[in-house]
Amino acid sequence: MKYFFLFSFILAFSISANGQLDKNYWLVGGSGSFYSYNDDFTTTGQPTVTGKLTEINLSANVGYFFFDKFAAGLRPGINSIKSHGFNSASVGTEVTKIYIGPFARYYFLNKDKQFNLLIDGSYQFGSYSNFGKGAFQSASVMAGSEVFFNTSVGIEFLVGYLYQKNTKNETQNGYEYMRRGLNISIGFQLHLRKD
């Protein structure tokens, strides 16, 4: 009998657990990502320092489905980077970044599926503090899936490529460095109807 109830629960969940990807729905959520990258750091009058680093990033998003299965909006976020045993001149001891920028995503499968495949592209810009103020730009292309718990809530698993450019324009301590590499993200999304 317990197997019958378990089977009924799974069947009911799989029938009703699909996300709302229709036009005029809101997409509100957040994600955390782990980023592993190579760091090429150049400072005035010094040789380039190269190292492998990691960072953890937290971001939110507020978007709108302008068409069925296509949403776009804004993605603000914050992250903190600490060096992991490399020359501290390459990243400083701690860097805090605050950013915002547009994103767009497209879902590929039918809207009534319990899971869906998607592609997500974004561009962010912002500032950071590291012995002075600096600016950075970031662009990413991610792909993966979103699994829906019900008609409004889904968890997403994304993997892709992230590129960042960091600059600080100062006469004595100016620098520029770029980061690029694998980006892995896990997040929750709410699909809300516009009333």
Handedness of CA 63, 108, 114, 139 (dihedral sign): negative
Residues 19-55 have pLDDT tens digits of 689 999 999 999 987 777 777 767 777 777 666 777 7
Domain containing 123: what range? Answer: 2-193
Q: Which residue has the higher pLDDT, 174 or 172?
A: 174
State what percent of residues in the chain have pLDDT above 90.
44
By the 8 A CB rule, do 33 and 54 touch?
Answer: no
By the 8 A CB rule, do 49 and 79 touch?
Answer: no
Question: Domain total for the chain?
Answer: 1
State what percent of residues in the chain have pLDDT above 70.
76
Task: State how far the Cα of 116 lies from the Cα of 21, in Å rounded to an integer.
Answer: 10
Distances (CA, A) of 185 to 42, 141, 167: 29, 11, 25
The pTM for the full model equals: 0.74
- The yes-or-no verdict on residue 157 having pLDDT over 90 is yes
Q: Which residue has the higher pLDDT, 116 or 173?
A: 116
Residues 79-130 have pLDDT tens digits of 877 664 455 444 445 678 899 999 999 999 998 889 999 999 999 999 887 6
**Domain containing 161 — which CATH number?**
2.40.160.20
| Lowest mean pLDDT across 34-38, 72-76, 78-82, 166-170 | 34-38
- The yes-or-no verdict on residue 138 having pLDDT over 60 is yes
pLDDT of residue 134: 83
- The yes-or-no verdict on residue 154 having pLDDT over 90 is yes
pLDDT of residue 83: 63
pLDDT of residue 44: 75
Task: State how far the Cα of 175 lies from the Cα of 169, in Å rounded to an integer.
Answer: 7
